[in-house]
Amino acid sequence: MYSLNLPQDIEDNLAFLATETGRDKEDLMNEAISRGIQEIIEDMGDIADAKAVLQSSSRQWSLEEVEAGVDLEGHV
């Protein structure tokens, strides 16, 4: 069991959601925390994938090249 001191705006939003959905605050907090943790885990996977691509690629592509539609062969 954890105890949290929530900022007033979050407490207000939580109370609003509880009223609108008929769910209790604890259930809503558990769902929000679970979704947040899952999102962080997915972000970590995306970062790991990006690092792997950067480490394996012999050629770095600039944002301008990507936006211009340069393909992997360097042709426009």
Higher pLDDT, 62 or 33: 33
Overall domain count for the chain? 1
Confidence of residue 11 (pLDDT cuts 50, 70, 90): very high
Q: Are 30 and 37 spatial neighbours (Cβ–Cβ below 8 Å)?
A: no
> pLDDT at position 61, please?
75
HSE-CB of 1 using CA atoms within 13 angstroms = 2
**Mean pLDDT value of segment 2-14:** 94
**Mean pLDDT value of segment 19-27:** 97
**Residue 70 DSSP symbol:** -
Range of the structural domain that residue 46 is part of: 8-68
* Closest to 29 (Cα-Cα) out of 1, 54, 57: 1
Torsion over CA: 61, 63, 64, 70 (sign): positive
Q: Does some domain include residue 73?
A: no
Q: Does some domain include residue 76?
A: no
